[in-house]
Structure 1
Amino acid sequence: MKKTGLIILVAFLSACQHKPVNTKATFFENLSSLCGQVFTGYSTFPDDPKHDFAGKLLVANFSECSAEEIRVKFVVGENHSRTWVITQSDKGLLLKHDHRHEDGTLDEITNYGGWANENGTTWQQHFQADQETADLIPAAATNVWMLAFDPQSKVLTYDLKRHDLPRYQAKLKPK
């Protein structure tokens, strides 16, 4: 009788153990749930009227999604040259910035970004500049981009830090 009770207790405790959450994969799933949605907003930092994005309407359009990639067209005012590309692979979660000219050809400064580090959650990830970025834009070698979505407020946040200091931030809400 004692042996049966012990087996039941071990089975019960084994069933109660929680498997660790893969925050990067869950973040990708959560971000994928935004596919087809459009968010609008404005820059919240820096508060500088001379900044390129100052006063311009920002639009983030979750336009294309697959099991491995999310493409978010990021429009600044009338400029449609930017797309955020979030890719999920065996190596992890990668954020790249695809910049194009009006005719669709690649801009000279494109494909910069980096891999998600270990500081993320299921609704927020931090992407550290990769070597390709450091080679392309040496000043951006310390960049860390952050993408976050708050499911309660429905706010999408895009944030950039350089040398651990705030450099840019935008907050957008569903259109």
Structure 2
Amino acid sequence: MKRSFLAGLLPLLLAPPVSMAAPAPSAADTGAAGFLAALAQHCGQAFAGRVVANQPASATPDPFEGQVLVMHVRGCDAPAQELRVPFHVGEDRSRTWVLTRVGDRLRLKHDHRHADGSPDKVTLYGGDTHEPGTAQRQAFPVDAESVAMFEREGLAGSVRNTWAMEVEPGRRFLYELSRPDGRLFQVEFDLTRPVAAPPPPWGADAAATEKGA
């Protein structure tokens, strides 16, 4: 009887351990939805940044050098669909990054305004993600509308732009511009230390009116 019991137990002892695989992340935790949700954790907060890559070096004065760089996560009325993130460069409040959910992808547009709130002649350029991306990183190749604008305004170097953003909630946020010719510009923001919220970006009221129209 004892020998029979041990014989039956032996296969169980020799069997490989059962793998306890982690459950697959839900759609809300990945891709466009996950990225917006990660960034939305900082709605209402502002953070200081620094340029961590800017190559090749420019022969003309750099508008970012020596300036206080601040991002402000606002425009959070419907964070699962859109976030607006003004990017302040010193006293220049002309720039706002607009992230919009388009199906299962994301769209990035750069809203550029003058101090009186009127749109710059080069504005609302950007692109849609071509890949699902992750909750940590999304890349936005330039779209056809932006290419046409750049060509019209004599900005031939920008027609091959790819923008990217990375977010690690509570740690860091990265904005990136790259081109195949080696151009690389990156600004990294410290999400561990919120700073005082800056004034609204130029044209904030106008942008809200246009959105509601």
TM-score, with structure 1 as normaliser: 0.81
Moved more, 39-48 or 96-105: 39-48
Residue by residue, what CA displacement relative to the aligned partner does 1:132-173 show, whole Å, maximum 9, x if unpaired?
A: 110111322211111111236x11110100126243110111
Give the equivalent residue in structure 2 for 1:89: 102
Give the equivalent residue in structure 1 for 2:88: 75
The AA in structure 2 aligned to 1:171 is E
Give the equivalent residue in structure 1 for 2:44: 36
1:155 aligns with 2:172: yes
Computed over aligned residues only, the root mean square deviation of the Cα atoms, in angstroms, reads: 2.2
Give the equivalent residue in structure 2 for 1:46: 54
Cα distance in 1, alignment partners of residues 127 and 86 from structure 2: 18
Percent identity for Structure 1 against Structure 2? 36
Give the equivalent residue in structure 1 for 2:162: 144
Cα distance in 2, alignment partners of residues 51 and 64 from structure 1: 29
Cα distance in 2, alignment partners of residues 17 and 33 from structure 1: 23
1:60 aligns with 2:71: yes
Considering Cα pairs closer than 8 Å and 6+ residues apart, tell me whether 1 or 2 has the greater RCO: 2
Give the equivalent residue in structure 1 for 2:111: 98
Question: What is the total number of aligned residue pairs between the two structures?
Answer: 159
Residue by residue, what CA displacement relative to the aligned partner does 1:33-79 show, whole Å, maximum 9, x if unpaired?
A: 22111111121222658322112111100011113110001100110
Question: Retained in 2: the 8 A contact 1:43–1:55?
Answer: no
| CA positional deviation for 1:117 | 2.5
Q: 1:77 to 1:118 in 2, by over 3 A?
A: same
Structure with more strand by fraction: 1
Cα distance in 2, alignment partners of residues 91 and 148 from structure 1: 18
Task: Point out the structure with max Rg over C-alpha.
Answer: 2
Ranges in structure 1 where 5+ consecutive residues have no aligned partner: 1-15
Ranges in structure 2 where 5+ consecutive residues have no aligned partner: 1-21, 195-213
| CA positional deviation for 1:19 | 6.6
| CA positional deviation for 1:92 | 2.2
Question: Retained in 2: the 8 A contact 1:119–1:126?
Answer: no
Question: Retained in 2: the 8 A contact 1:23–1:121?
Answer: yes
TM-score, with structure 2 as normaliser: 0.68
Give the equivalent residue in structure 2 for 1:6: none
